[in-house]
């Protein structure tokens, strides 16, 4: 009885993992920008600090770009 070797290639290659790491870093930067910094006086509500362009526009765009890169990394073939 002869044994047949069923060799399968790995699901992801090195390049897939590289793109996944890039996407994860971009998502982490987006969440970091969205969290913002600490207020100088916690008793005062600063409208510009909470609803700034960085937190409302740039951070979500970075997160969506990072998610798109993750999807690209998963579906990328040789």
Confidence band (pLDDT; 50, 70, 90) for 72? Answer: very high
- Angle at 77 (CA atoms; ends 72, 78), nearest 5 degrees: 135
How many of the other CB atoms lie within 10 Å of CB of 20? 17
pTM above 0.85, yes or no: no
Q: Is the pLDDT reported for residue 1 higher than 70?
A: no
Q: What is the DSSP string of 11-78?
A: SS-HHHHHHHHHHHHHHHHHHHHHH----S-TTS--HHHHT-HIIIIIHHHHHHHHHHHHHHHHH---
The residue extents of the domains of the chain are 14-36+45-75
pLDDT in tens, 7-52: 888 888 999 999 999 999 999 999 999 997 777 787 888 887 788 8
Q: Is the pLDDT reported for residue 67 higher than 90?
A: yes
């Amino acid at each position: 009885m002869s044994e047949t070797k069923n060799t399968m290639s790995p699901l992801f290659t090195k390049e897939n993992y590289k793109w996944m790491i890039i996407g994860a870093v971009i998502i982490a930067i987006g969440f970091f920008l969205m969290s913002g910094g600490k207020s100088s006086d916690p008793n005062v509500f600063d409208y510009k600090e909470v609803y700034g362009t960085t937190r409302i526009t740039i951070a979500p765009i970075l997160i969506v770009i990072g998610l798109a890169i993750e999807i690209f990394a998963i579906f990328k073939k040789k």
